[in-house]
Amino acid sequence: MRHLLLDLGNTSAKMAYYQNGKLGEVMRCSQLEEQDLALQLLQEAPVDVVVLSSVRDVDVSWESKLQSRCRKLVRFQINTPGCLPHNYATPHTLGMDRMAAAVGARALFPNQDLLIFDFGTAITIDRVSKEGIFEGGNIALGLDSRFRALHEYTGKLPRLEKPAAVGLLGNSTQTAMENGVVLGTIFEIEGYLRSFPDHLPIFTGGDAFYFAEKLKTPIFAVYNLVLTGLARIAEENAI
C-alpha cells in the first residue's frame, strides 16, 4: 500500500510517499504551494492513507478534499493510535511535529533514553525514555530566528545568515553577531548534553548537520525524522 505523509511546519511543508517500508523522495514547498502539491500527489498515484501533521491551522475545505482522494485521512493528534504515551501537562498545546519526531526516534532507536534536537524555525529539545514515554522538553528560537530578531529589534544591526565557520570572539560587528548566535546555540546544546549524559542525542531539521559538524560529541543526525514518525503512524492506522 502507498501512503502519503504531509508535514506542515511553521514556514514550509514536507511531503513524501511511503510504500513497502521505504520513504520516497521528500518534496519541500512553501505554504502557498502546499495545498496544490498535496492534491497533485494524490492525483498522480493511488494512496491508501494520508497522514497530516501540522503546527498551523489547516483549511477545512482542503482537508475535505484530501479525505475524498484517499481511503483514510489521519489528522495526527495526541490521541492518534501510534502516539507515544506522555507526561505532558498540556497535551492539547503540544506541537505534533515534536511527537512525530519522538515516534520516529523511538522506532529507529528502541529501548534507549533519547534526547531529540529539532533545528527549524524553533529549536525543540525533547526527551523520550527507554520505556518509550515522551517526557516533554523545551522550545527556543531557531538559528535564523535569532539572526532575524537581532536585526528587527535593534536600530543598526544587519540582517545576517548563518556563517560557514565561527570563531570564539568576533573582531567586527558581523563576526560578533555570527559568533554570538552560533556559539550561543552550541553552548545551549552542550548544556543539554551534559545534563543527560546517558541519553542518545539525535539531531534533525534543516540545521541539524550544520550543528552536528560543529560538536565534538558523537550524535546521530536523521534529516527526515518527523516524516519517519509519520510513516509509523501510517502503518499503525492502515488497518
Q: What is the pLDDT of residues 72-84, one digit of tens each?
A: 999 999 999 999 9
Confidence of residue 173 (pLDDT cuts 50, 70, 90): very high
- Please list the alpha-helical segments (H only) found in the chain: 31-44, 60-68, 96-108, 143-152, 173-195, 208-212, 225-236
CATH class label, 110-226: alpha beta
97 is catalytic: yes
Instruction: Report the C-alpha gap between 150 and 169 in whole angstroms.
Output: 18
Within the chain, which residue ranges are assigned CATH 3.30.420.40? 2-75, 110-226
Q: What does the pLDDT read at residue 84?
A: 98
Catalytic residue among 97, 118, 126, 207: 97
Mean pLDDT of the 112-126 span = 97
CATH class label, 2-75: alpha beta
User: Above pLDDT 90, what percent of the chain?
Assistant: 96
Q: What does the pLDDT read at residue 239?
A: 82
Instruction: Report the C-alpha gap between 111 and 94 in whole angstroms.
Output: 23
Between strands 27-30 and 49-54, the pairing is unpaired
pLDDT surpassing 90 at residue 223: no
Find out whether 76 and 227 touch, Cβ atoms under 8 Å. Answer: no
Q: What does the pLDDT read at residue 106?
A: 98
Mean pLDDT of the 49-61 span = 95
Q: What is the pTM of this model?
A: 0.94
pLDDT surpassing 90 at residue 216: no
pLDDT surpassing 90 at residue 235: yes
